[in-house]
Amino acid sequence: YLRTLNKYDTSAGGLKCHTLPWPWVSLTERSPSYCSHSYRKRRRLTYSQPSSVDSLETFNGDMTRKSEKEILQALNDRFAGYIDKVRNLEMHNRNLEAEAAALRQSQAGRASVGEHYERELGDLRGLLQQLTGEKARAALEHEHLEEDIQHLRVRLEDEARNREELEAAARAMKKYVEECRLVRLELDKKLHALEEEAVFLKKNHEEEVVELMAQIQNAQVSFDLRDTLKADVTTALREIRAQLDSHASKSAVHAEEWFKVRVERLSEAARSNQDAIRGSQEEIAEYRRQLQSRTIELETLRGTKESLERQQRICAFILQETINQLDNELKTTKWEMASQLKDYQELLNVKMALDIEIAAYRKLLEGEENRFVSGGGPYSYLESRVSAHLKVKAEEISDTVIHQSHDVYMAVPAQEKKYKNEVHISCSSD
pLDDT tens sequence across 122-149: 888 888 888 888 888 888 888 888 888 8
Report percent pLDDT > 70 for the chain: 63
Q: Omega of the bond prior to 50 within 30 degrees of 0, cis?
A: no
Q: Which residue has the higher pLDDT, 382 or 133?
A: 133
What is residue 423's predicted lDDT score, i.e. its pLDDT?
39
Exposure on the CB side of residue 306, measured as CA atoms within 13 A: 6
**Considering just the CA atoms, what is the radius of gyration of the chain in Å?**
70
What is residue 48's predicted lDDT score, i.e. its pLDDT?
41
Q: Which residue has the higher pLDDT, 107 or 131?
A: 131
What is residue 110's predicted lDDT score, i.e. its pLDDT?
64
Q: In this structure, are residues 174 and 277 in contact, taking their beta carbons and an 8 Å threshold?
A: yes
Position 156 in a domain: yes
Q: Is 321 exposed, middle or buried (0-12, 13-18, 19+ CB in 10 A)?
A: exposed
Tell me how far CA of residue 153 lies from CA of 98, 112, 158, 306, 339, in angstroms: 79, 59, 8, 18, 65
What is d(CA 5, CA 68) in angstroms, rounded to the nearest whole number? Answer: 13
Which amino acid, 251?
S
Most confidently predicted of 251-255, 370-374, 383-387: 370-374
Position 13 in a domain: no
What is residue 228's predicted lDDT score, i.e. its pLDDT?
52
Q: Strand 8-9 to strand 16-17: parallel, antiparallel, or no bridges (unpaired)?
A: antiparallel
Res. 11: pLDDT tops 70: no
- Going by pLDDT thresholds of 50, 70 and 90, the confidence category of residue 47 is very low
Q: In this structure, are residues 52 and 39 in contact, taking their beta carbons and an 8 Å threshold?
A: no
DSSP line for 138-154: HHHHHHHHHHHHHHHHH
Q: Which residue has the higher pLDDT, 286 or 246?
A: 286
Mean pLDDT score of the chain, rounded to an integer? 69
- Going by pLDDT thresholds of 50, 70 and 90, the confidence category of residue 231 is low
Position 171 in a domain: yes
- Three-class DSSP category at 362: helix
- Going by pLDDT thresholds of 50, 70 and 90, the confidence category of residue 109 is low
- Going by pLDDT thresholds of 50, 70 and 90, the confidence category of residue 350 is confident
Exposure on the CB side of residue 346, measured as CA atoms within 13 A: 5
Res. 408: pLDDT tops 60: no
Rounded average pLDDT over 30-50: 41
Of 39-43, 111-115, 243-247, 297-301, the poorest mean pLDDT is in: 39-43
Q: What is the pLDDT of residues 356-370, one digit of tens each?
A: 888 888 888 888 888
- Going by pLDDT thresholds of 50, 70 and 90, the confidence category of residue 65 is low
Position 8 in a domain: no
What is residue 300's predicted lDDT score, i.e. its pLDDT?
85
Rounded average pLDDT over 399-413: 40
What is residue 127's predicted lDDT score, i.e. its pLDDT?
83
Contacts with 411 (C-beta within 8 Å, 6 or more apart), sequence order: 402
Sign of CA dihedral 180, 182, 185, 186: negative
What is d(CA 30, CA 16) in angstroms, rounded to the nearest whole number? Answer: 8
Position 344 in a domain: no
Position 190 in a domain: yes
| Calculated CA dihedral for residues 395, 399, 400, 402, nearest 10 degrees | 160
Region of residue 174 (left: phi > 0; alpha: psi -120 to 50; beta: else): alpha
How many helices (H) and strands (E) in the chain?
Answer: 6, 2
What is d(CA 68, CA 52) in angstroms, rounded to the nearest whole number? Answer: 16
Domain total in the chain: 1
Sign of CA dihedral 119, 122, 124, 126: negative
Position 108 in a domain: no
Range of the domain at 173: 126-329
Res. 208: pLDDT tops 50: yes
Q: In this structure, are residues 5 and 20 in contact, taking their beta carbons and an 8 Å threshold?
A: yes
Position 348 in a domain: no
**Cα of 177 vs its chain's centroid, Å:** 69
Q: In this structure, are residues 322 and 156 in contact, taking their beta carbons and an 8 Å threshold?
A: no
Residue (of 425, 341, 388, 357) closest to 103 by Cα position: 341
Tell me how far CA of residue 220 lies from CA of 224, 227, 230, 235, 236, in angstroms: 11, 9, 10, 18, 19
What is residue 379's predicted lDDT score, i.e. its pLDDT?
43
